[in-house]
């Protein structure tokens, strides 16, 4: 039975790929480093916090050029660390971001607040605080409010220094400096902990006494708090303005990467794109550039648990956040409330668009069969895949409503494979986009894809999966103008900074 299903899925996959053969373009300008966070290691602002799921500023600059984006506002409905927002703004293009993860919201907002102050003065204040090393002296301490998933994450001495640092940071007179200092502390949490982010969970070093799995994990060097925070503060200061400090480093990356006369407006809407996008004006955006969570079981609420606890979220808050995010984990339940959050006619059309995808239907039938046969390594996989496409269809239809005629929708995403069945997310999403009123300009394929998991390879053999950047463009043909589901009015696009700062 498995072989019959897999043969039918492979045939349907080949048929769909043949239809898009002229759009699947191997782009030699792209590589995994450029598309991923790796290329941000030397980028101003982006290098401060290791947001593993983000894309690089260099990729956004490339997309803006190749997709012909010269005016905004540009929307990123899954803003993440804010790379697309800040890169667009540096190019003189107004940008609007929607983000749900509190730690990411804080990162974007802190970076944005730093643009409005004298950066030379702020850099000097950061260096003065760092040079004092006050956290190494006796004094008050702010407790880290752990949740069960983070308990025991730090060596005792490290957690003590962290608490002293946060106590002293709260007592500085400059509120922007306070936020920068706290953000710097959040940026080093993984580095000073026993943990490492590993997609579906936190991986624990054997020295923590709290391990997962049978294999012993050795993280290697665990940085001391003072070394880590001093390095981070000096990085931030040197990115802000030319300034020399104790270790002899000097830099002016912010000044080199940003022209004050060009810097455009950055607007941030904290919350879910399912709540914010339906309240945006029709035909109000000049481009969408984004990278949503992939359909790959990664759980942001677990991998960023340290940062979320740092932000004050409780276990209950984290569980609620997990359900509110785009369904990409096996624990996500269907969002029954989604039908009432958007125009009902649009919701019906979006639902029909994903339900009538033959390859997706066949794959879901196969995965549910595997669930009944108990051959899936997690029975929640079929539900996750179904929820993912149901929710992304709503995002795509909303995007068609709020983009202007001819505006591009650029998305970075990965294909996936479950129980031997290849799921071409790029092609299925493109089919849904065409139904919503887009044309597919191109699907850029990275020259080197990614392999499937070792477990999958052991059973089904190695199959390289495409890593892609999709470019869709809203067509000029007339479309249904849906009513707004919200009675509290529309989201103002590019409101004043004072209205959106917090």
Residue 2 is predicted with a pLDDT of: 79
Cα–Cα distance list, 6 to 18, 84, 264, 428, 450 (Å): 18, 38, 50, 17, 20
Q: 173 and 44, same structural domain?
A: no
In a domain, 496, yes or no: no
Residue 34 is predicted with a pLDDT of: 73
Residue 497 is predicted with a pLDDT of: 38
Q: 347 and 457, same structural domain?
A: yes
CA dihedral 38, 177, 115, 89 (to 10 degrees): 30
Q: 212 and 251, same structural domain?
A: yes
In a domain, 291, yes or no: yes
pLDDT in tens, 275-292: 999 999 999 999 999 999
Q: 474 and 370, same structural domain?
A: yes
Q: 196 and 276, same structural domain?
A: no
Q: 474 and 368, same structural domain?
A: yes
Q: 394 and 323, same structural domain?
A: yes
Q: 134 and 93, same structural domain?
A: no
Residue 311 is predicted with a pLDDT of: 96
Burial-class residue 92 by CB neighbours within 10 Å (0-12, 13-18, 19+): middle
Nearest to 433 by CA among 396, 461, 381: 396
Nearest to 413 by CA among 498, 328, 309: 328
Running DSSP on this structure, what letter comes out for residue 349? H
Residue 213 is predicted with a pLDDT of: 65
Q: 341 and 244, same structural domain?
A: no
In a domain, 156, yes or no: yes
Residue 257 is predicted with a pLDDT of: 43
pLDDT in tens, 394-421: 999 999 999 999 999 999 999 999 999 9
Q: Which domain holds residue 128?
A: 119-257
Residue 262 is predicted with a pLDDT of: 53
Q: Among residues 257, 290, 312, which one ends one of the domains?
A: 257
Collect the ranges in the chain with pLDDT lower than 50: 39-40, 243, 245-261, 452-454, 456-457, 460, 487, 495-502
Residue 274 is predicted with a pLDDT of: 96
Q: 367 and 280, same structural domain?
A: yes
In a domain, 501, yes or no: no
Residue 473 is predicted with a pLDDT of: 97
Residue 152 is predicted with a pLDDT of: 95
Q: Among residues 257, 290, 320, which one ends one of the domains?
A: 257
Read off the CATH number of the domain in which 417 is found.
3.40.50.150
Q: 332 and 232, same structural domain?
A: no
In a domain, 209, yes or no: yes
Number of domains in the chain: 2
Q: 74 and 39, same structural domain?
A: yes
Q: Among residues 216, 240, 257, which one ends one of the domains?
A: 257
In a domain, 113, yes or no: no
In a domain, 110, yes or no: no
For the chain, counts of helices (H) and of strands (E):
22, 14
Residue 452 is predicted with a pLDDT of: 47
In a domain, 112, yes or no: no
């Amino acid at each position: 039975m498995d072989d019959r299903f897999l043969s039918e899925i492979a045939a349907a996959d080949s048929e769909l790929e043949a239809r898009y053969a002229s759009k699947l373009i191997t782009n030699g300008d792209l590589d995994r480093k450029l598309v991923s966070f790796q290329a941000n290691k030397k980028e101003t602002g982006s290098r401060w916090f290791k947001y593993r799921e983000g894309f690089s500023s260099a990729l956004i600059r490339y997309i803006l050029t190749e997709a012909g984006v010269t005016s905004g506002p540009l929307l990123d409905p899954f803003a993440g660390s804010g790379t697309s927002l800040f890169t667009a703004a540096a190019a003189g293009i107004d940008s609007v971001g929607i983000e749900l993860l509190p730690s990411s919201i804080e990162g974007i907002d802190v970076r944005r607040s730093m643009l409005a102050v004298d950066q030379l003065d702020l850099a000097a204040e950061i260096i003065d605080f760092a040079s004092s090393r006050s956290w190494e002296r006796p004094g008050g301490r702010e407790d880290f409010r752990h949740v069960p998933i983070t308990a025991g994450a730090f060596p005792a001495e490290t957690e003590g220094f962290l608490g002293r640092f946060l106590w002293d940071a709260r007592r500085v007179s400059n509120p922007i400096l306070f936020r920068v200092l706290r953000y710097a502390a959040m940026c080093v949490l993984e580095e000073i902990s026993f943990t490492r982010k590993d997609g579906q969970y936190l991986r624990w070093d054997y020295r923590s006494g709290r391990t997962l799995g049978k294999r012993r994990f050795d993280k290697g060097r665990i940085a001391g708090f003072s070394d880590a925070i001093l390095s981070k503060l000096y990085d931030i200061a040197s990115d802000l303005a030319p300034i020399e400090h104790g270790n002899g480093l000097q830099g002016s990356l912010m000044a080199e990467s940003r022209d004050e006369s060009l810097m455009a407006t950055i607007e941030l809407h904290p919350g879910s794109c399912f709540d914010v996008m339906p309240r945006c004006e029709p035909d109000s955006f000049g481009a969408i550039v984004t990278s949503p969570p992939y359909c790959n079981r990664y759980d942001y609420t677990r991998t960023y648990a340290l940062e979320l606890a740092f932000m004050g979220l409780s276990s209950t808050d984290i569980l609620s956040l997990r359900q509110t995010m785009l369904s990409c984990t096996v624990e996500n339940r269907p969002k029954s409330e989604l039908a009432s959050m958007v125009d009902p006619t649009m919701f019906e059309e979006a639902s029909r668009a994903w339900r009538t995808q033959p390859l997706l239907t066949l794959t879901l039938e196969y995965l549910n069969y595997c669930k009944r046969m108990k051959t899936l390594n997690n029975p929640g996989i079929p539900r996750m895949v179904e929820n993912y496409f149901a929710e992304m269809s709503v995002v795509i239809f909303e995007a068609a409503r709020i983009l202007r005629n001819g505006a591009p929708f650029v998305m970075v995403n990965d294909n996936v494979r479950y129980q031997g069945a290849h799921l071409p997310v790029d092609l299925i999403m493109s089919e849904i986009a065409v139904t919503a009123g887009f044309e597919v300009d191109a699907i850029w394929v990275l020259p080197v894809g990614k392999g499937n998991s070792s477990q999958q390879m052991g059973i089904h053999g190695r199959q390289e999966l495409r890593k892609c950047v999709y470019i869709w463009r809203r067509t000029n043909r007339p479309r249904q103008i849906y009513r707004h589901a919200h009675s509290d009015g529309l989201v103002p696009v590019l409101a004043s900074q004072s209205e959106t700062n917090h």
